[in-house]
Structure 1
Amino acid sequence: MGIKGRLIILNFIQFFIWGAWLITIANYWFGNKGWSPQEFGAVFSTMGISSLFMPTLSGIIADRWINAEKLYGILHLLGGVAMLYLPQVDDSTLFITVILLAMICYMPTIALMNSISYTILKNNKYDVIKVFPLIRVWGTIGFIAAMWLTNLSGSKASANQFYISAVASFILAVYSFTMPQCKPQNQGKKGASLIELLGLNAFKLFKSYKMALFFIFSMLLGASLQLTNMYGDRFLSEFEKVPQYADSFVVKYSTIIMSISQISEVVFILAIPFFLKKFGIKKVILMSMIAWVFRFALFAYGDPSGGLWMIILSCIIYGMAFDFFNVSGSLFVETQCDSNIRSSAQGLFMMMTNGFGAILGSWVSGIIIGNFFTSNEGDFIWMDIWNTFAIYSLIIAIFFAFLFKHKHNPEGFGKINN
């Protein structure tokens, strides 16, 4: 098999591991265990906590002491062990602790996978910019495949979703040790300060009003990024409590319905270059924010019958909401920073969105739902939940539109003006 084929397998399994449980864990938490919404927020915050320090730490280790593909394999092996143990846990606090350990192992492997792919492609004389996106898209396909497997195997509310993820982790761990070597690039080198090693020098970007504002909005919007992953599948599954919808396609195959969101991601990734050139960074990010408003609002009023089109449209809109912010935001950071801190600046962007933002969204949403949008019988008041998220996203969009200033030059696409 060629090197591109091998990297496709790497990307596919990487996100298959995540897709096996990320969208369906709410069904296990609430439907199987009956634990509280407040604590469920802590489950998703583990990804944010891990994203604050583990990608940087693993990057330092891979740069200085151990081959990236070996560290990658070790982390997946340990993460698989944590996932394998998770179904044995009957205490919610211990469950959160174990999944935190799993995320400490998993979250840095996303960055390591990118690094391994880039290194191998460059060593084999491939154009990374042209080739990698076509390889990376198989990661999204892997995520979708895992969602379908979890749903069609009847595992969306059972412990089997964690076993599926664990087995895939072990397979990828073994597979990674067969990959071409990615040796440390800075082994034995001296001179870099601790601040530079940890990427903290990028924080000087907060001295710029525009960049500080951008990172603050990144955190605030980052709070929205995982909300439908947290609650979307559970929302669709709970239509079974309504007699007229109990046997509907949406209830039986809720995870497959949710996978439309990931399929949409693939399409909108391809559309980003056109939108960026036509409208510019600010408007594209603003489109993302407005898309989040519709993502939540359509869920609020959708149902498996006459409102099915709203649920489907919400899933389609997700591609714009998620990709237009993440890809455009990353490009904005890339073009606004000095070359010597670009990697650190990208890390800061991820820290603000997937770190602080994810923690904020996970914890606060759990508290709000548990205290204000749960009935005396323990049922979620879904319309109020989704409308609250929609209003939050709308407020963010309005403030961003008025406060963030950026002039777009269509002729200078690819080199963004200040």
Structure 2
Amino acid sequence: MPTSIRIKLSIMMFLEFFIWGAWFVTLGTYLLHNLKATGVEVGVAFLTQSIGAIVAPFIVGLIADRFFSAQKILGVLHLAGAALLWRASQAPDFGSFYPNILSYMVLYMPTLALVNSVAFRQMKDPQKEFAPIRVLGTLGWIIAGLTIGWLSWEQTNNLQATFLMAAGASAILGVFSFLLPATPPMKSGQAGASLGSMLGLDAIGLLKNRSYLIFFLASIAICIPLAFYYGFTNPFLNEVGMKSAAGVQSLGQVSELLFMLAIPLFFSKLGVKKMLAIGMGAWVLRYLFFAYGDGLGNYWMLIVGIVLHGVCYDFFFVTGQIYTDNLAGDQFKSAAQGFITLATYGVGMLIGTLLSGRIFDNYQLADGAHNWRMIWLIPAGIAAVVLLLFLLLFRERARQGQLTETETPYTPTSLAPAG
């Protein structure tokens, strides 16, 4: 890959995740303190991510795979997103805040698949080339968190500024996207395509592969406990007395960055099943550390729980993206990435956000504090069950992370029933 293209893709990833990290980490704290929202309303706000993820495969499959270049769609979505983030920052209450953030997430979530599509289309060997570029996205998230902590926006009750910062970055990426490598549609000019094909639902055929079906279901289930982390970690850390919690949370992204650089080595040595299992096991440990940690003698448990985020994310999500790209045929890479986004940030997070908000409210104490031990033990138990079932049911036919003849890249006929 030419150096100029690698630099452009790296900038794209940096801005993509800087935008998300700039407001998403502290969203729960902002809603609870600034807009006086309930735990259920916090869950509903995070649910917008799931709604956007459910819409994403349709936008990506219908538009990016068929009619328009992915980088141009990316630019339009981020320019519109910048306006919506600014409007969200001006909302005086949850009722007026919610429509703006819902509209924004419907536009933002498809961009996660689009940046992957733009990147993968420039690569000859994604297993080696993707991680060093994707790691810049992690760096973007880190810089966003450190900026919030450095400016003390949590302590000064100025989290409204996070949305303005994200809006500015979104506008920059919107303009920059038009300078990215051309990523034309793979299926342009096809006639007589079915409605399912036009919507990018060809990727559903991946589920006829038993191994991928188990992975897909595990992706949905493991994102239920993930919703607890996204929605309530920042309020939890602030409540137990951690200073500059958003900045400290960026340690999770530092860990993510370091592990991501090692993904090619781990992938070749461990293979898909062990990588995914380690990621899910780290989820269990993270929530146990949160359950028994505090701002005093067990402060170290909070730090370890945060640092485990790198293992949780890289070993499951990045491995899953590569695994999906390996199995998807060339014509369906964009749709396949949107499809796995549907499973994780869509269905799984939808269930998790609804559940986590109710549990948060149920374990609120009379003095306004919360029984955080129980709040964290519940997702720990869910993750443990998912890990056990995955280990029992997933069968990896490939060795050393490579595909075999029984795990060939997907085409509409390769997974079709015989006859």
Q: TM-score, normalised by structure 1?
A: 0.86
1:399 aligned onto 2:397? no
Spell out the pairing of 1:19-34 with structure 2 (5 A cutoff): 19-34=21-36
SS at match of 2:226: coil
- SS of structure 1 residue aligned to 2:193: coil
What is the aligned counterpart of 1:414 among 402, 406, 418? Answer: 402
| 2:281 corresponds to | 290
Q: Secondary structure at the match of 2:148?
A: helix
Tell me, in whole angstroms, the C-alpha distance in 2 between the residues paired with 1:346 and 1:177. Answer: 21
% identical equivalent positions: 34
- Deviation, structure 1 residue 230: 1.7
- Tell me, in whole angstroms, the C-alpha distance in 1 between the residues paired with 2:274 and 2:56: 32
Partner of 2:145: 147
Q: Quote the residue 1:214 is aligned against.
A: 215
User: What residue is the counterpart of 2:352 in the other structure?
Assistant: 361
Q: How far apart, CA to CA, are the structure 1 residues paired with 2:331 and 2:5?
A: 30
Q: CA deviation at 1:79?
A: 0.6
- Is 1:236 the equivalent of 2:276? no
CA shift, 1:140, in A, is 0.9
Shift in CA distance, 146/323, structure 1 to aligned 2, threshold 3 Å: same
Whole-angstrom distance in 1 between the partners of 2:94 and 2:282 = 34
Contact 1:280 1:408 in 2 (8 A): no
Indicate the larger mover: 52-61 or 354-363.
Answer: 52-61
Match of 1:380 among 370, 375, 383: 370
Output one character per residue of 1:223-255: Cα deviation in whole Å (capped at 9) or x when no partner. Answer: 222421221121111123xxxxxxxxxx22211
Q: Which residue of 2 aligns with 1:245?
A: none
Going from structure 1 to structure 2, the CA distance change for 1:382 and 1:331 (only over 3 Å counts) comes to same
Shift of 1:108: 1.3
For 2:233, give the aligned amino acid.
G
Alignment counterpart, residue 307 of structure 1, candidates 284, 298, 309: 298
What is the correspondence of 1:9-88 to structure 2 with a 5 Å cutoff?
Answer: 9-88=11-90
- Normalising by structure 2, what TM-score? 0.86
Question: Residues of 2 paired with 1:290 and 1:9: CA distance?
Answer: 32
Distance of 1:180 and 1:210 partners within structure 2? 34
Find 1:98's aligned residue among 97, 100, 118. 100
Distance apart, 1:179 and its partner CA: 3.9
Residues 117-148 of structure 1, C-alpha deviations (whole Å, 9 max, x = no match): 445x46xxx86654443222111111110111
CA distance in 2, matches of 1:2, 1:275: 28
Other-structure match for 1:247 = none
Judging changes above 3 Å, is the alpha-carbon distance between structure 1 residues 405 and 136 closer, same or farther for their aligned structure 2 residues?
A: closer
What SS does the aligned partner of 1:214 have?
A: helix
Aligned to 2:204: 203
How far did 1:63 drift? 3.9
8 Å CA contact 2:29, 2:235 repeated in 1: yes
- Distance in 2 of aligned mates of 1:274 and 1:181: 30
**How far apart, CA to CA, are the structure 1 residues paired with 2:209 and 2:120?**
31
Which of 7, 10, 19 matches 2:9? 7
The answer as to whether partners of 2:60 and 2:334 remain within 8 angstroms in 1 is no
Q: Could you tell me how far apart the structure 2 residues matched to 1:168 and 1:227 are? A: 27
Further displaced range: 21-30 or 225-234: 225-234
Match of 2:411 in 1: none
Counterparts in 2 of 1:331 and 1:142: CA distance versus 1, 3 Å: closer
| Change beyond 3 A, Cα 1:311–1:194 | same
Write the letter of the residue equivalent to 1:5. Answer: I
Displacement of 1:175 in angstroms is: 2.4
Unaligned 5+ runs, structure 1: 241-250
SS of the counterpart of 1:192? Answer: coil
Write the letter of the residue equivalent to 1:71.
Answer: I
Distance 1:335 1:182, change over 3 A: closer
1:269 and 2:260 are equivalent in the alignment: yes
CA 1:38–1:67 in 2, change beyond 3 Å: closer, same or farther?
Answer: same
Cα distance 1:414–1:185, how it changes in 2: closer, same or farther (>3 A)? Answer: closer
- How many residues are paired up? 401
Alignment partner, residue 118 of structure 2 = 116
Distance in 2, matches of 1:338 and 1:112, equals 17
CA distance in 2, matches of 1:349, 1:64: 19
Q: What residue number does 1:246 align with?
A: none
Distance 1:178 1:90 in 2: 37
Whether the 8 Å CA contact 2:61–2:201 is kept in 1: the answer is no
Aligned-pair Cα RMSD in Å: 2.7
Structure 2 vs 1, CA of residues 288 and 7 (structure 1 numbering), >3 Å: closer, same or farther?
closer
